[in-house]
Structure 1
């Protein structure tokens, strides 16, 4: 598959963004964040996995697919890659989660991620903690 498909999500940071989680990162449509949400990088997302195009979802269900998630906020950019999985559902209407493990549930958008929330650039994390707007681009090829 040589075609590159992408989904774009607009969200914002929050004062409780800590990006301390060792195995996941998450973007949620929820408009709040508690300090316990240490994997959440952005809130108030305008789209969730259930909104993604069926062609995009099908492409992500290929275990040889490379899925890349890019966060752009306030002049900072971080890209993390992982792979697809035949069990990916893309049915959750609230949250999109990237995982370093092979675990899949209805929120999972990528498995085998290179790193999780704790691996994100700290300047980007600081910008998100200041509540800045973020563009999250999820691509598959």
Structure 2
């Protein structure tokens, strides 16, 4: 199993109300309209990920798990990979419940989007808490 770790922080405008995506951005600001964004000021983006991790995610059979840890609260979201994932985004990373891909997409078919996150975790992020996001991929051809 391959993994990538991203550190970011919450922001007062985190609402986690989006129905089809969740996002972590390297931007250091967030407007109330960004209802899919869970954290800002990420120390890494998909463009920084190891090529072996990216290759593993480019398999439709790959199982991708995003684990969010904030103030002792942990949330796990599972999704899958796809050959069209590029991981070229240099600003943000997006998990999607759909099968839409762009350069920011880190998983497809996510079990839930921002609105499904534990409200205790969301409240901590809205208070500016630190986030550790661990992305793991397995189940592909090389796993």
Q: TM-score, normalised by structure 1?
A: 0.97
Q: Which runs of 4+ in 1 moved over 2 A?
A: none
Alignment RMSD (CA, Å):
0.3
Q: What residue ranges of structure 2 are gaps of 5+ in the alignment?
A: 139-143
Q: 1:110 aligns with which of 102, 107, 111?
A: 107
What number of residue pairs does the alignment pair up? 138
Partner SS state of residue 54, structure 2: helix
Once the 2 structures are TM-superposed, how far is the Cα of residue 95 of structure 1 from its aligned partner? 0.4
Query: What's the TM-score once normalised by structure 2's chain length?
Result: 0.96
- Is 1:94 matched with 2:82? no
Confirm whether residue 81 of structure 1 aligns to residue 83 of structure 2: no
Deviation at residue 105 of structure 1 after TM alignment: 0.3
Residues 16-49 of structure 1 deviation map (CA, whole Å, 9 limit, x = unaligned): 0000000000000000000000000000000000
Report the counterpart of residue 54 of structure 1 in structure 2.
51
1:39 matched to 2:36? The reply is: yes
3-state SS of paired residue (1:20)? coil
Distance 1:92 1:65 in 2: 20
- Provide the rounded CA distance (Å) in 1 between the counterparts of 2:88 and 2:129: 27
In structure 2, the residue matched to 1:29 is: 26
5+ unaligned residues in a row in structure 1: which ranges?
Answer: none
- How far apart in 2 are the matches of 1:94 and 1:7? 16
